[in-house]
Structure 1
Amino acid sequence: MIIYSKLEINRIKDFWELLNRLDTETDYMMYEPNERKAKTTLQELKLDIQDNVIQGFDFLQVATENDKIVGYIRAERGKFERNFHTAYIVIGILKKYRGKGIGTTFFNNLDLWAKTNNIIRLELTVECCNNTAKNLYEKNGFKIEGIRKKSMFVAGSFVDEFYMAKIL
């Protein structure tokens, strides 16, 4: 049974391990395999989560099965008065758990948080070739607003991304 909850500070190490596993499991996350470990630390992640998530500024929810974190969604709220009503979304779900409704539940829970916190615009990017994720986002109300040409360099090639948003 999948359980959805806020990330507790005592689970930071487990969350760090999930992020690193996702980096190796898919080409669709921002980091290359092992790049996260080279560019940031567990302590930096902990401080970020304490400063932004635990304080209620940003949204971070994890999905667990048998106490193992299997996915997450994070919304980082705009930091300025002019974009405080927006949030940028990142989602990651272990391959074994995709297609089981976790993403849809994450987005439903995110919508509730956003409405409670006066967020009216949710936005994200997705590689144009990632049809599975694009379909999930469209199913949950996101629309393509544009294409970011050659915005990523993956496996030796430049790839385009869709810029997608949802107005609540």
Structure 2
Amino acid sequence: MVINQQIYNVKGLQYIIRSADTSDAHELSHLRVQLDGETENLDREPGEGCMEESDFKKLIQRDTESKRNLFLVASVHNEIVGFSRCQGNELKRFSHKVEFGVCIAKEHWGYGIGKELLQQSILWADSADMKKMTLNVLETNKKAIDLYTKFGFEIEGVLKNDKVLSDGKYYNTVVMGRFA
């Protein structure tokens, strides 16, 4: 699915949120590796589960053609600094819901980019008649949990000792959902 581009001005920074295009694939493949190395809030270690440019092209094409998927990018000065995806399911029993995920380059945290990617995704999900949005978030990412709660997500459960981080300790994953 494709949405109309939106322009935001926050704390002196102008950024654009728009649907991903296959021409973004090269930049996204490099950005994803960078983002995996900036925080432990994401699922991957740096270099794990790499997606090549061709993989991103296929993903973007599939998401663009699907009524159940949405792939958004955020750019500053024509450079992609973050992205989000809503991924639906073709199985009839799960066709009413999408799973949301987001990541932003650390140097651009604090400008509301993640919040606006979430807001655009919610607007899209509501207009696409999706009855539920789900997401997973690391228990220590309180800022994200607070943001999701403000947007109507509620905690549905906790996956105990779900991830092991660089300190060798196990952490819980919080499962959240928003119902239309």
TM-score, length-normalised on structure 1?
0.92
TM-superposed deviation, 1:16: 1.3
TM-score, length-normalised on structure 2?
0.86
Gap runs ≥5 in structure 1: none
Is 1:17–2:30 an aligned residue pair? yes
- Superimposed CA distance per residue, residues 105-161 of structure 1 (whole angstroms, 9 cap, x where no aligned partner): 112211121122121100001111111211121122111111101111221222111
TM-superposed deviation, 1:49: 2.2
Which of 144, 147, 167 matches 1:136?
147
8 Å CA contact retained: 2:156, 2:177: yes
Greater share of residues in helix? 1
CA–CA distance in structure 2, aligned partners of residues 41 and 73 of structure 1: 17
CA–CA distance in structure 2, aligned partners of residues 157 and 42 of structure 1: 34
CA–CA distance in structure 2, aligned partners of residues 61 and 126 of structure 1: 19
Is 1:117–2:99 an aligned residue pair? no
After the TM superposition, which of the residue ranges 130-139 and 6-15 deviates more from structure 2? 130-139
Percent identity over paired residues: 27
Is 1:48–2:59 an aligned residue pair? yes
8 Å CA contact retained: 1:74, 1:90: yes
SS at match of 1:79: coil
TM-superposed deviation, 1:61: 0.7
8 Å CA contact retained: 2:28, 2:53: no
Which runs of at least 4 in structure 1 moved beyond 3 Å after TM superposition? none
Gap runs ≥5 in structure 2: 1-13
Task: Give the aligned partner of residue 104 of structure 1.
Answer: 115
